Amino acid sequence: MAKRIQLVLNKDVSKLGKSGDLVDVAPGYARNYLIPQGIAVRTTPGVLRQVERRREAERQRLLAEKQQAESRKATLEVVGPMTIAKQVGEKDAIFGTVTDREVAELIQAKAGIEIDRRGIEVPEIHKTGSYKVEIKLHPEVSATVEIQVVPS
């Protein structure tokens, strides 16, 4: 079997790796496709140091992002229960439902935090009352906010 060549990817390659990854590939694949297309470069001590610096910078960025999500979670928990007024029919049934967009606007107005509505999980709300809404702020950080639906 032929010797494998170690390269550093400049771009994401499906089924091979992401930009900055160290990969072992067949010599022909490296020589005929990856290197001429500028998708990868041969490893040298300088390139390896540069890859390590990039990884460290990315790790620091992800850590800062997580800390920011933790502070947003603390702010949301301090705000307390939020109230949404809805038009009500008989037996406390509301017309329509409470949407993630309404919850995002309510948080923006009350806490001053802009939340991506795609990260908000609203349970099925068809009556007035108190409900818990799960908000995903980061892949590892989520907050729970209490929403009270009252008649308008």
- Break the chain into its structural domains and give their ranges: 5-63, 65-151
> In the predicted model, is pLDDT for residue 141 greater than 70?
yes
Cβ atoms of residues 19 and 11 within 8 Å: yes
Query: What confidence category does residue 28 fall into, taking pLDDT thresholds of 50, 70 and 90?
Result: very high
Residue 124 has pLDDT above 80, yes or no: yes
Angstrom distances, CA of residue 44 to CA of 5, 8, 23, 137: 12, 9, 13, 39
pLDDT tens digits for range 39-91: 999 999 998 898 889 889 999 999 999 999 999 999 888 888 899 999 998 88
Identify the band that residue 31 occupies on the pLDDT scale cut at 50, 70 and 90.
very high
Fold that domain 5-63 belongs to in CATH: Ribosomal Protein L9; domain 1 (3.40.5)
Q: Which CATH code is given to the segment(s) 65-151?
A: 3.10.430.100
Q: How confident is the prediction for the chain on average, in pLDDT?
A: 91
Confidence (pTM) = 0.69
